[in-house]
Structure 1
């Protein structure tokens, strides 16, 4: 036998009223049309671009690089796009790179005078091997030799930092100079600016300069190598003012003022040896 179905419950007066007017109520109070969900892609892309931009600013990438050099005996003047000026001494090589947050010069070899235009947000950095010089706007001279970097300040302010030991850092005032020997900052000294900048007038000025250091400077103005074959001569002092256009005349003069001999190979290589005392 089938189970009898439950009898339908009678509608209340309120339900009957709602049923009669349901369609009229729907038309008068329609349900809001659901809005399409916004894609999150544009927001994600914007966030990604912000992150990439912040990363680029933080890493300070280079967007332009320039290479300059001077030949033996040449003095070259450069005007950079930011208004800074460089003067390259003989046999000098530099690489200038422009970054988002900085301006940088790598002094590979030689000597240069920098006259830097001032900007608040883009410091000017000179990397010379064991030394890094940072400025905002100033005039200074940097000379790079085999084991030493010499920085002299004419105007403004510079910070010199050892790249071997970054904790070593020193700020210079106008008229001061500082040497970095084998990555170690030496005490600051008063600079003899006329002597330091004599190369711009094609002069070499030595004042009790050790022969080995003098040879490094002379080599800058000579194509063929100069060999100091006897290291016992390295600390012999040399003094005087000499013409950089006539360095061979200076070399020929050395045997007359120091106890040494000079010989030349067929390719122009010059050898300096000790001269034995006459019996």
Structure 2
């Protein structure tokens, strides 16, 4: 588990590196070796990816700046870069200077603080820089960044329950999968597995979007409602929270499977596993399972499934366990 609030020097170093890579990756002479080095830097820390995304936004904004006609000559065989972009990128590269940092903050391009939180084998309670309270489920990870115009959380993986500090002037945005949840102050839960996301609202109101590029297509939730989406969905699917809903049982250390089809139960189970369990076919996915399990012991559930269901376990070529219904067992001679 880690909790890290960046010092000014650390923040400057990441910002400068992000600006450097933004310029190099847009340069015509960027090499494959540089691209590989960038990927290693980008993937080494969620904050690197977060800051690089901000640099891309600045780069895009720079495209709307007026042309500078006195751009220096470049070799005729290379495409001419927009000098306005290069000038802005160069300014960003020295964003560690007080004036540049202040300008970036005022324009809403650059956050003035970052926090990263992870939960390992225990549920974890954390306080974000704006005073919002968050509970992280096992194996969950998020990054918080405070911008001038909004507070932004990226849920990298797992599940989190949010009790958001009310601030109407600074919306609280949670990015999860390809969509996002936008609020000003409320209590809600966000569950994510692979490209699937489910939002459960307890208090207040939220607006859920299934695609961050289509923010106007979001749907508003009121307390007692859930929204679900996956990659490619144009809009979230919204329903009332079932009376027997157990999606928040993890806060008490429990996973509740209430007579669910295996196809619906496995995403809830696999969230806690290093190697997800696969289904051999649709008929196996139709088998139903129930029970209450400790979230810290879900890994012990998989070997026991043949004892409670008409299934047997095999393994695919990638090493993942596969559930097969007894009726599909191949005959032997």
Which structure's CA Rg is the greater one?
1
Structure 2, unpaired ranges of 5+ = 1-100
- Mapped to 2, the partners of 1:83 and 1:59 lie a distance apart of 20
Match of 1:25 in 2: none
1:71-105, CA deviations, whole angstroms, 9 ceiling, x for partnerless residues? 2x321110112211111001111111111111110
Choose between structure 1 and 2: higher strand proportion: 1
Q: Say which SS state the counterpart of residue 114 (structure 1) adopts.
A: strand
- TM-aligned CA deviation for residue 56 of structure 1: 5.0
Greater percentage in helix = 2
Instruction: Output the TM-score relative to the length of structure 1.
Output: 0.71
Task: Give the alignment partner of residue 226 of structure 1, picking from 251, 273, 276.
Answer: 276
Aligned residues: CA RMSD: 2.9
SS in 2 for 1:61: coil
Aligned ranges 1:92-171 → 2 under 5 Å: 92-163=140-211, 165-171=214-220
TM-score (norm 2): 0.60
CA distance in structure 1 between the partners assigned to 2:281 and 2:138 by the alignment: 26
| Structure 1 residue aligned with 2:241 | 190
| Residue aligned with 1:94, SS | strand
- Tell me, yes or no, if the aligned pair for 1:60 and 1:101 is still in contact at 8 Å: no
Deviation, 1:124, is 0.5
Residue in structure 1 matched with residue 310 of structure 2 by the alignment: 259
Q: 1:210, 1:237 within 8 Å by CA — same for their partners in 2?
A: yes
Q: 1:86 to 1:151 in 2, by over 3 A?
A: same
Q: Distance in 1 between matches of 2:167 and 2:298?
A: 40
Q: Distance in 2 between matches of 1:241 and 1:230?
A: 25
Select 1:85's aligned residue among 124, 133, 140: 133
Q: Decide whether the 8 Å contact of 2:115 with 2:128 is kept in 1.
A: no
Superposed counterparts of 1:41-56, under 5 Å:
56=105
> Who is 1:17 aligned against?
none
C-alpha contact 1:60 1:102 (8 A) present in aligned 2: no
